């Protein structure tokens, strides 16, 4: 039996769809059913359930708000994954959790591999690095999968926001100095699942192929919907955001792709499929 924590977010929803499709038994818990920061609740929940894999999709993802509430951010992104890893060890389950391209400072300007050293620049990214370290220190049968710019049906995201903004505005400003790659939650769930089945525990990167700035991603979306407004390139500094962001954080998925035996699809192809899914009314 698989336990999906944070099972109602973007990635959690896609795991649910995948498991339903292939007929795998799972329990998905949302924040309300199981708060992963409540260790007693976690212990109680795991009793007599015969869980053999815990996939933690729960996270504190408010990158800017985290600057003002570091305790909350660290509780969800560092301490809770550590405790889940320890509980997984106790019950003999494999543990899987997720981290972010934001662990890097952007100085490299070439796709980051798993052997590159993180240099987190915000509370959120520090909490992710700490989470990674705690998990591997707690339990060797763990997967930590870093990803970037996730979009999918299950929650709000940049793709949905661009569509929403385009309906309300005639001019849009998008940043060109944040470069990484958008990642479709559906692809992330499917490729993660193949990786998990390899039993080759460790640290991995998984993001859709290709590289884009937020401006380029937005331009692609706006062209698809035939928006006639004015799109302007700006720098991140214009928005005076509380959290620092890397100018470049593209992740190389090569290590995972070698194990899985296939390449991640290009982000444009992923956005095309996401649009199809939205048109089919699954939003």
Binding site for ligand NAP (CB under 6 A): 5-6, 8-11, 31, 35-37, 57-61, 76, 98, 100, 147-150, 154-155
Are 111 and 160 in contact, with CB atoms under 8 Å apart? no
d(CA 28, CA 57): 10
Minimum CB distance to ligand NAP smaller for 166 or for 208: 208
**Smallest distance from the beta carbon of 98 to ligand NAP, in angstroms?**
3
Minimum CB distance to ligand NAP smaller for 184 or for 227: 184
Task: Report helix angle 39-46 to 80-91, nearest 10.
Answer: 30
Among 253, 275, 248, smallest CA distance to 204 is for 253
**Smallest distance from the beta carbon of 50 to ligand NAP, in angstroms?**
21
> Measured at CB, which residue is nearest to ligand NAP?
9
End-to-end CA distance of the chain: give it in Å, rounded. Answer: 28
**Smallest distance from the beta carbon of 226 to ligand NAP, in angstroms?**
26
Cα–Cα distance list, 197 to 17, 86, 282 (Å):
17, 20, 28
Q: Is 4 helix (H, G, I), strand (E, B) or coil?
A: strand
Among 268, 273, 267, smallest CA distance to 253 is for 267
**Smallest distance from the beta carbon of 256 to ligand NAP, in angstroms?**
15
**Smallest distance from the beta carbon of 110 to ligand NAP, in angstroms?**
19
Minimum CB distance to ligand NAP smaller for 5 or for 208: 5
Query: Phi/psi at 230 (nearest 5 deg)?
Result: -100, 125
**Smallest distance from the beta carbon of 35 to ligand NAP, in angstroms?**
4
Please count the other Cβ atoms lying within 10 Å of the Cβ belonging to residue 137: 12
Minimum CB distance to ligand NAP smaller for 93 or for 150: 150
Tokens of 95: 């543990």
**Smallest distance from the beta carbon of 158 to ligand NAP, in angstroms?**
8
Helix (H) or strand (E) holding 104, with range, is none
Minimum CB distance to ligand NAP smaller for 38 or for 228: 38
Distance of CA 212 to the CA centre of its chain: 17
Minimum CB distance to ligand NAP smaller for 43 or for 230: 43
Tokens of 225: 């919907």
Among 4, 39, 33, smallest CA distance to 18 is for 4
């Amino acid at each position: 039996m698989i336990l999906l924590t944070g099972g109602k977010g973007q990635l959690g929803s896609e795991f649910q769809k995948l498991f339903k499709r292939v007929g795998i038994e799972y329990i998905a818990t949302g924040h309300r059913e199981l708060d992963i920061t409540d260790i007693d609740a976690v212990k109680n929940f795991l009793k007599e359930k015969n869980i053999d894999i815990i996939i933690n999709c729960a996270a504190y993802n408010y990158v800017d708000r985290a600057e003002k509430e570091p305790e909350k951010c660290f509780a969800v992104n560092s301490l809770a994954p550590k405790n889940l890893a320890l509980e997984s060890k106790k019950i003999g389950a494999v543990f899987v959790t997720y981290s972010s391209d934001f662990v890097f400072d952007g100085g490299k300007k070439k796709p980051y591999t798993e052997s590159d050293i993180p240099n987190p620049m915000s509370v959120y990214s520090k909490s992710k690095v700490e989470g990674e370290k705690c998990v591997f220190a707690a339990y060797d049968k763990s997967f930590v999968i870093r990803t970037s710019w996730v979009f999918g049906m299950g929650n709000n995201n940049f793709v949905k926001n661009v569509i929403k903004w385009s309906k309300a505005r005639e001019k849009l400003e998008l940043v060109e100095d944040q470069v990484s790659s958008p990642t479709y939650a559906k692809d992330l769930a499917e490729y993660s699942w193949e990786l998990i089945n390899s039993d080759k525990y460790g640290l991995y990167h998984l993001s859709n192929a290709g590289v884009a700035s937020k401006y380029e991603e937005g331009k692609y979306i706006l062209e698809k919907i035939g928006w006639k407004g004015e799109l302007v390139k700006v720098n991140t500094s214009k928005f005076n955001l509380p959290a620092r962001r890397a100018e470049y954080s593209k992740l190389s998925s090569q290590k995972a792709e070698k194990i899985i035996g296939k390449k991640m699809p290009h982000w444009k192809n992923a956005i095309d499929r996401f649009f199809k899914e939205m048109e089919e009314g699954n939003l």
